[in-house]
Structure 1
């Protein structure tokens, strides 16, 4: 598609030094399958080895970013999970849901650490740089 779009410029001459690339390619590296509904948020762990995904199937899944394997499925929310965020030290994972709760998980074990009923749901979660606060 990109080659087709810029074909007229190739004839003009400014694009005469084209890079050598495959004839057929796309940007897809991996497809992670497992959720049964929409995925609203993803977050890589700070070391880049694990990916967390938040879904309308009321769950959070943890994936091995290299092998694509599901490492854990975190359940407990009673409605769409719309955001996930790792703490800077990777020891906690926060998830926010339209059930008006934020849950803290231990991503290494999948254990639920705490539940905060906040009376509304944040669209996006973020840990502070020191990992002591969550904003959303």
Structure 2
């Protein structure tokens, strides 16, 4: 199977929970014979093209000058565009939900087979202190 991890800040983990999950699962799936690609922003300190058998695609992210919310949207969108237009994935795992619907509609996937999308929404957002009083 060919599997993509998008909307993370890349591997090896240098940030948080999504990235830790992406690192452990992608490396494990690669060891089991799957072709795995993790999308990573170009500003990630690890600049190699592979990590423990996992291919890394470095994508431009305007997060450093736009801020994390707006910048993440454009980075996620660019990663999804690449995954849908330039690759032929069986599964696309998205960490978060920022831009999956607009990207899927915008790129109107017309491939022989469409990839299966899985999304991890990172818990109960409305319970997090930064989103609620």
Could you say whether these structures have the same fold, taking a TM-score greater than 0.5 normalized by the shorter chain as the test?
no
Q: Which has the higher strand share?
A: 1
TM-score normalised according to structure 2 size: 0.27
Q: Compare relative contact order (CA 8 Å, sep 6+) and give the higher one, 1 or 2.
A: 2
Structure number with greater Rg is: 1
TM-score normalised according to structure 1 size: 0.27
Q: Which has the higher helix share?
A: 2
